[in-house]
Structure 1
Amino acid sequence: MVSGYVKDAASGEVIAGATVTTDDLLNYAVSNSFGYYLLTLNRLEDSVNIQASFVGFSPLSFQVIPNQNLKIDFALRSSNMLDEVIVRAEKTATYEKRKEMSVATVPISKVTDMPSLGGESDLLKSLQLMPGIQSGNEASSGLYVRGGSPDQNLMVIDDVPVYYVNHLGGFVSTFNSDAINSMKLVKGGFPAHYGSRLSSVVAIRMKEGNMKEFHGNAMIGMIASKIMVEGPIKKDTTSYMLSVRRFMYDLITRPLTRATSFNGTSVGYNFYDLNAKINHIISPKDRLYLSFYSGGDKILSRQKTQSDLNKMILKWGNILGSFRWNHLYGDRLFSNLTLYSTRYRLANDFTNTFTHNSIKEKTSMSYWSGTVDISLKADFDYYLNQNYKIRLGGTTIFHHFNPNTTSYKSFENSAAVDTSFGSIKQNGFENAVYLENEISIGSRLFTNFGLRVTNYHIPNRNYASIEPRFLTTYLVGENTLLKASYSQMNQYIHLLTGSGPNMQNDIWVPVTDIIKPSLSKQFAFGLERTFRNGEYEVSLEGYHKTMNDLITYKDGVATLSSASDWQSQVETNGTGKSYGLEFLLQKTKGPATGWIAYTYSKTTRQFENKNNRKPYPFKYDRT
């Protein structure tokens, strides 16, 4: 048995999804999201040649004697990928594809090469070019995946959910490509360790920081300016990464509008993103990660006359942090413990100060909405043998929701008025445990079947659900894969998106006694084939998805009002249906690379008090 980590030789960062195989390709392992692998060998052989490979890197081989347990870390070097190297890499890459379905990935190097708005590369826009994913509005970074809405996508940075993922009214995503190591979108065939959303999971990993040497870059662009630095704190032991990005135009618009207006008005808008990470190796069996992200948008307006001073500030954004501990129990059991907190907040403050005959009157009105999560989760990978891997774990999340609160204050000399009104704040606990079984039967059949049990507890009510998951693939010949999957998902939070004039009016609301959890059931089937030694790859997938207990605004309600409880302003018990075919043709090697994608799909929604109870096309359905 051989185990260890697969790393980038230049930076020391781990490589997830790398393949480790023997020469005959009969024994293989795929490194997990933290770069760890375990390969079982035939002890009857005198010596075995094992090789690690990953697309974009030169394969690395070691000859070992399989009569004892060995620890081997592979340090792969970036390569120009000569033809003979490519052939080998593409053959072993098939093993990774055998274990998943309905997955979209775009290498970060490709993201930065794509045309972009004002030179600002965008991760989410690159995903919009894949089949089954729509953008909604032109140039927007929103994602509508297989008929779902944006709130049905679980966006995570280093395993921490992000609630708001756009800047500049949707034209730029919050994910700064300078700080990102990898991303993967799963839109079907969900393994049991994923949950909490109906339509997709977008898993994003931040860079860990270069363990070998200092690196940095800076850019002044048309949209934003940014800087990124990374390097070792202690070589090969501790590293850091820090990245900052900011929209700079408010530094020009505020003084310019002040100088050109007749009433002393100044207006400005900016957004920023701050990513930071520390990676520390305690021992060969223990590693710590500290991750932090803060990002937000801000609109500021100020007007000053002889008697009045008016200020308006609208701001919204995320702040999150996580602590993760990887530990190896022997060679077969890998664990990851995560403690995190994430917060989303929307706040709108308006202040008026009026002065007359030395009498000052100040009036302020504030509106805010948001959610805070605190979570602890544990994940375990147990390698029973070469053909059987067990994944299990659990998570508990404390949710705090403030759907909408309006505060009004007035001061005149010594008199004061202070009042607040809005929806009731609510706390809830979301818990889940899961079990996955990854089984290879012979050299051609692979299956992943599992179960996720979820529970959401609020005062006087408890929701529980069992979510079965199933995925199977069968290798036909050397380069054709047949795939099929079924997944059931529950979602315990909802997003209400207003259609009013405000640039930002998205409100997150929880499950209550009246508002039930949403449920989706999805079947998918597909075929994938490579040609000309992996130079071309074609895939075809079909899916059928149903959704129950959806919510939306009632007719005539554009945005959430604080005058009444939010539950009285929404339609409940809605249903949805989506089905379609997705085609993808990729050219993965040569001077010119790229892909062609086509999607045929139809999506409907149905509510009792909308469209005379008849199904109607969902937003951005283009059939």
Structure 2
Amino acid sequence: MKKTLWLLLALLPGWAWADPLTLTGQVVEAGSLRPLAGISVFVVERDDLYAITLSEGMFTLVLPEPGIYHLSAMGLGYAKPEPVTVQTGSGAPLRIVLKAEAQVLPEVVIKEDRDPVRVGKISLEGRQMEAVAGTQGDPLKGLQSMPGVAVGNDASSNPAIRGSAPRDNLYYLDFMPVAYMFHFGGLTSILPADMVDDFNLYLAAFGPQFGDAMGGVIDTVQRNPRTDRVGVKLNLGMYESDVLIEGPTVEGQSFFLSGRRSYIDFLMNKVRDKISNDQVEIREFPAFYDYQFKYLVDLDERNQIAFHLMGANDWMKIIIPPTSDAAINDPGIGGNLESDQLFDNQGITWRTRLEGGGANRFALGHLHTGTGFVIGGGDYLDIQANDYFIRDEATLHPGKGHELLVGGLVSRWSNTVNFNIGAPPGGDFVAGSLYGTAPKAQRSLDLTGNAWNLYLRDRWQASPRTALIVGVRAATDSYINQVLTEPRLGAEYRLTPSTVLTAGWGYYHQIPQGHEIVDGLGNPNLNYQRAEHRVIGLEQDFGNGWTSKLEGYEKLLRDLPVPDATLNYVNGGSGRIRGMDWLLKRDGAEWNGWLSLTRATSQRTNAATGESFKFSYDQPWIATLVGTWKIDEQWTLGAKWRYHAGSPITPVVGTTTDPGTGQVLPVYGPIGSEILPDYHRLDLRLDRDIAHSTYNIKWYLEILNLYNRKNIGGYRYTAGYASREPSYELPILPSFGIQAEF
């Protein structure tokens, strides 16, 4: 990736001539003032007089005699700057500032270091994904441009991975579990854009170190704090802003502290009465905040300890008037509708480099989650959950060609659950239901238990062409009190230096959702949900920056909870997901991007009724085209076009009347029997990066849904189900963001 720089010479304190013939100084980056290592500083008149900057950007040049010299600098990917004149014996401190042109979007699949296994995985860097058009600078929102990923609507970026629901995913951050990764189920992620170092997206057949989930895994790593000086970043977006402070404290120790708060509620609350209508009355606009703190201590060359604090909170409050269409159709929801969701995470991680190239990771932490919900005339739900955990994982090399991964987790959990609420609808296996007609239950529960898991994986490089992966995971939770031992296998075969075949297989399980398994609403005697993953793939490097990844897959699901008239739920559901994903990518100096295609089907079957139907996230065709063009050293233009076939919905096909209350009740058609119109949308993005000697300014402008496609996300029924009106996704909408770094 080619960069252009210019050279500034600043006379600043801290750098001096150690003696008349020795020149010392520092090379830093314009704007951020980060030290630049590996830069060659040399005398123009004597190309044999040069020095290479070290880790803190420092260099020392030994000169043969006093006089005037002309200095220049160069490094890989940098253009040669104009020479700078210096004079020996002047006593002036020296700092060289290098200015680089704007970055372009690098290649998408770039890292295999944290987990060498290739099957079912895409490895990404945060800075790559935050530049994708339509993401508003949020790297995790860029996941929806990857193959095999579906989303429910424009307001949600929570990924449904290869035919599973978003609730079937697992999220990790810096080796520790996280309650959720997206505000309001998908509006934006809980991490500011430039806090994400990289993340691995596991689409299927993931290894035994992850569990327990039937969908996918998003394993995210935050970057480390800067170590050269204290710096500040300010971000202002369309509906939120954040501030980041980071830098060193003492030698070998550094920190960052970040906080973010949405502010659209402050702006809109002043006009909420004008926005409210006879269908909904807004009391508090949706709002959120999140925070991250990391303190890093380098104990020695082999040991590093990090202290972590992070959390998030989302809340909103509206009133559904009793005369609104929604309340007339379902009187049980008329009144207040409030939600409050939060989590706080505290932890310590310890990383150790072992002899022989191995490593060990240890985590000790506490995760608190809270969920509050009020609906109708005072029905409520309040859950406060605490999980204390210890996790350890070692990577060893016991023999030639073997990489052994061994680890486990022990946790102690306690949940306080209070509710007086109607039973939630039967989920995926019910055509539709009304909250007001659901039986109500009231409970105050204090639940405690233990959970543990152990896992082992051996990746054996059997030959220069062949790698075999054998793993096993044993896990249990005292709530269900059953130990499951699940094998997981994989293989990689290099047909040619540029062609690799991959395959993966494994068993997986997942605990049912809370309302399905808690006393009063669900069935405490439910068993685990189970899944089998099968994947086969082909990776190809065509050269000149072109690569391809093709995978076919099948997921078989069983023991899914389905409604039961006597026990509330039983393990009577199954599912089959089949599909193929293709990612074609081009990485270049001036333009790059990718095309992702998915062809898949996702089906569920209720054994009790014999009914089979399309899953709500079944989008048989998904296509995404992403491109980025570097116009010049400051300007970058990007675009993303996304298409997917319409999602299935369950329509109201008629009505009946309750003879006791006179309420008009809907008659639903078969589950998933209507398909929404196809969805497509084009987003554009323009970035500018302005680097000054002591600060950087970056801004972007996006236009979402450029050609104003009226995508239908569902339908809203009028009172008595007399008619229905389409609910549209986002119209054409501008978005912006600006970042200042000091």
- On whether the aligned pair clears a TM of 0.5, the verdict is yes
Residue 292 of structure 2 is aligned to residue 282 of structure 1: no
Query: Match of 2:556?
Result: 546
Counterpart selection for 1:99 from 92, 103, 117:
117
Once residues 100 and 12 of structure 1 are traced to their aligned partners in structure 2, the CA distance between those partners, rounded to angstroms, is 34
Query: Match of 1:523?
Result: 534
CA shift for structure 1 position 329: 4.8
1:295-326: per-residue Cα shift (whole Å, max 9, x none)?
11122579xxxxxxx99863112211211112
Q: Give the secondary-structure state (helix, strand or coil) at the position aligned to 1:128.
A: helix
Matches within 5 A, 1:287-306: 287-300=304-317
What one-letter code is carried by the residue in structure 2 that aligns with 1:231? G
What one-letter code is carried by the residue in structure 2 that aligns with 1:160? M
Q: Give the secondary-structure state (helix, strand or coil) at the position aligned to 1:246.
A: strand
CA shift for structure 1 position 480: 0.3
Change in Cα spacing, 1:169 to 1:197, as seen in structure 2 (3 Å) is closer
Residue 466 of structure 2 is aligned to residue 445 of structure 1: yes
Once residues 538 and 493 of structure 1 are traced to their aligned partners in structure 2, the CA distance between those partners, rounded to angstroms, is 37
CA shift for structure 1 position 582: 0.9
1:94-126: per-residue Cα shift (whole Å, max 9, x none)?
899963211123321122212236xx3233321
Query: Match of 1:345?
Result: 370
What one-letter code is carried by the residue in structure 1 that aligns with 2:547? E
Counterpart selection for 1:620 from 617, 620, 645:
617
Residue 134 of structure 2 is aligned to residue 109 of structure 1: no
Once residues 265 and 431 of structure 1 are traced to their aligned partners in structure 2, the CA distance between those partners, rounded to angstroms, is 44
Once residues 81 and 176 of structure 1 are traced to their aligned partners in structure 2, the CA distance between those partners, rounded to angstroms, is 20
1:240-273: per-residue Cα shift (whole Å, max 9, x none)?
11111111022223344479999x9953431111
Q: Is the 8 A contact 1:12 1:210 kept in 2?
A: no
Residue 525 of structure 2 is aligned to residue 514 of structure 1: yes
CA shift for structure 1 position 289: 0.9
Q: Could you tell me which runs of 5 or more consecutive residues in structure 2 were left unpaired when the two chains were aligned.
A: 1-28, 37-75, 79-97, 320-334, 422-440, 621-742
- Aligned-residue Cα RMSD (Å) equals 4.0
Q: Is the 8 A contact 1:511 1:517 kept in 2?
A: no
What one-letter code is carried by the residue in structure 1 that aligns with 2:528? P
What one-letter code is carried by the residue in structure 1 that aligns with 2:451? E
Larger radius of gyration: 2
CA shift for structure 1 position 223: 1.7
Counterpart selection for 1:488 from 481, 497, 507:
507
Query: Match of 1:323?
Result: 348
Q: Could you tell me which runs of 5 or more consecutive residues in structure 1 were left unpaired when the two chains were aligned.
A: 1-8, 14-55, 59-76, 303-309, 353-363, 408-419, 498-505, 556-566
CA shift for structure 1 position 366: 5.1
Once residues 472 and 190 of structure 1 are traced to their aligned partners in structure 2, the CA distance between those partners, rounded to angstroms, is 12
Greater relative CO, 1 or 2 (CA 8 Å, sep 6+): 2
Change in Cα spacing, 1:294 to 1:508, as seen in structure 2 (3 Å) is farther
Q: Give the secondary-structure state (helix, strand or coil) at the position aligned to 1:250.
A: helix
Query: Match of 1:173?
Result: 189
CA shift for structure 1 position 218: 0.9
1:496-518: per-residue Cα shift (whole Å, max 9, x none)?
69xxxxxxxx9999997521111
Query: Match of 1:355?
Result: none
Once residues 195 and 226 of structure 1 are traced to their aligned partners in structure 2, the CA distance between those partners, rounded to angstroms, is 32
Residue 375 of structure 2 is aligned to residue 378 of structure 1: no
What one-letter code is carried by the residue in structure 2 that aligns with 1:600? R
Change in Cα spacing, 1:12 to 1:430, as seen in structure 2 (3 Å) is farther
Once residues 244 and 200 of structure 1 are traced to their aligned partners in structure 2, the CA distance between those partners, rounded to angstroms, is 28
What TM-score do the two structures reach when normalised by structure 2?
0.60
Counterpart selection for 2:147 from 123, 131, 134:
131
What one-letter code is carried by the residue in structure 2 that aligns with 1:549? D
Once residues 92 and 315 of structure 1 are traced to their aligned partners in structure 2, the CA distance between those partners, rounded to angstroms, is 38
Q: Give the secondary-structure state (helix, strand or coil) at the position aligned to 2:364.
A: strand
Once residues 462 and 198 of structure 1 are traced to their aligned partners in structure 2, the CA distance between those partners, rounded to angstroms, is 19
Once residues 510 and 380 of structure 1 are traced to their aligned partners in structure 2, the CA distance between those partners, rounded to angstroms, is 41
Change in Cα spacing, 1:479 to 1:80, as seen in structure 2 (3 Å) is farther
Q: Is the 8 A contact 1:226 1:244 kept in 2?
A: yes
Identity %: 19
Change in Cα spacing, 1:532 to 1:456, as seen in structure 2 (3 Å) is same
Counterpart selection for 2:254 from 211, 233, 239:
239
What one-letter code is carried by the residue in structure 1 that aligns with 2:572? N
Q: Give the secondary-structure state (helix, strand or coil) at the position aligned to 1:586.
A: strand
CA shift for structure 1 position 337: 1.4
1:129-185: per-residue Cα shift (whole Å, max 9, x none)?
111111122341121111111121001122222233332563222232232221111
Number of residue equivalences = 494
CA shift for structure 1 position 401: 3.7
1:171-212: per-residue Cα shift (whole Å, max 9, x none)?
222232232221111122322211211121101112221122
Change in Cα spacing, 1:594 to 1:544, as seen in structure 2 (3 Å) is same
Once residues 402 and 396 of structure 1 are traced to their aligned partners in structure 2, the CA distance between those partners, rounded to angstroms, is 20
Query: Match of 1:427?
Result: 448
Q: Is the 8 A contact 2:109 2:124 kept in 1?
A: no
Matches within 5 A, 1:3-82: none
Q: Give the secondary-structure state (helix, strand or coil) at the position aligned to 1:170.
A: coil
Q: Is the 8 A contact 1:403 1:509 kept in 2?
A: no
What one-letter code is carried by the residue in structure 2 that aligns with 1:112? E
1:224-246: per-residue Cα shift (whole Å, max 9, x none)?
111122111124x1111111111
What one-letter code is carried by the residue in structure 1 that aligns with 2:350? W
CA shift for structure 1 position 580: 0.8
Query: Match of 1:156?
Result: 172
Once residues 387 and 520 of structure 2 are traced to their aligned partners in structure 1, the CA distance between those partners, rounded to angstroms, is 13
CA shift for structure 1 position 495: 5.8
What one-letter code is carried by the residue in structure 1 that aligns with 2:352? H
Once residues 509 and 205 of structure 1 are traced to their aligned partners in structure 2, the CA distance between those partners, rounded to angstroms, is 39
Change in Cα spacing, 1:243 to 1:81, as seen in structure 2 (3 Å) is closer
